[in-house]
Amino acid sequence: MAADFLGPESCKGCHPAAYDAWMQSKHARAGDSLSEAQQKDARCLSCHAPDQASQGVGHVTCETCHGGGQYYSPNYVMKDAELARLVGLVDPSEKACRNCHDASSPSLKPFNFVESLKAIDHWSAARTGKSARAETPSPEPVKKK
């Protein structure tokens, strides 16, 4: 299901630690690492700014990996992980990462998925210094009278 992108600022309100981790990542500056000529080369843009043509986004953002947030971004949807996934939230996989981080990448460094996950960790309690569920609280249980 295609959904419009809302931009990384829309994620920041509910996921400030994840947003801060992204801002410190190379993904947040991926488009800036290209030369002027590379910024016009579709082969380079396909990884450094994959959503530029369709969404006007010049970097690798939250939605590049997690899908356009139009349908899953409302707070009531994000409180229900199953619903969020049903309406478009993507849990990125190694296969998704390897769309860009592959043997044809000019980085000359082999891609190690497990190690790379550590570099972009924006979900674990160790990274955020709080419980893993702190950013997406569960709804309060209904109390019987």
Q: Quick check: 88 pLDDT over 90?
A: yes
C-alpha R_g of the chain: 17
- Taking alpha carbons only, the member of 66, 81, 93 closest to residue 3 is 66
Q: Which residue type does 16 have?
A: P
How would residue 126 be classed by pLDDT, with cut points 50, 70 and 90?
low
For residues 50 and 60, is the Cβ–Cβ distance under 8 A?
Answer: yes
Give the pLDDT confidence of 5-53 residue by residue, as tens digits: 898 889 998 899 899 988 988 899 988 889 999 989 988 888 898 877 7
For residues 82 and 68, is the Cβ–Cβ distance under 8 A?
Answer: no
In sequence order, which ranges of 24-91 are alpha helices (DSSP H)?
Answer: 42-48, 52-55, 62-66, 75-78, 81-86
> CA–CA separation, 5 vs 70, rounded Å?
6
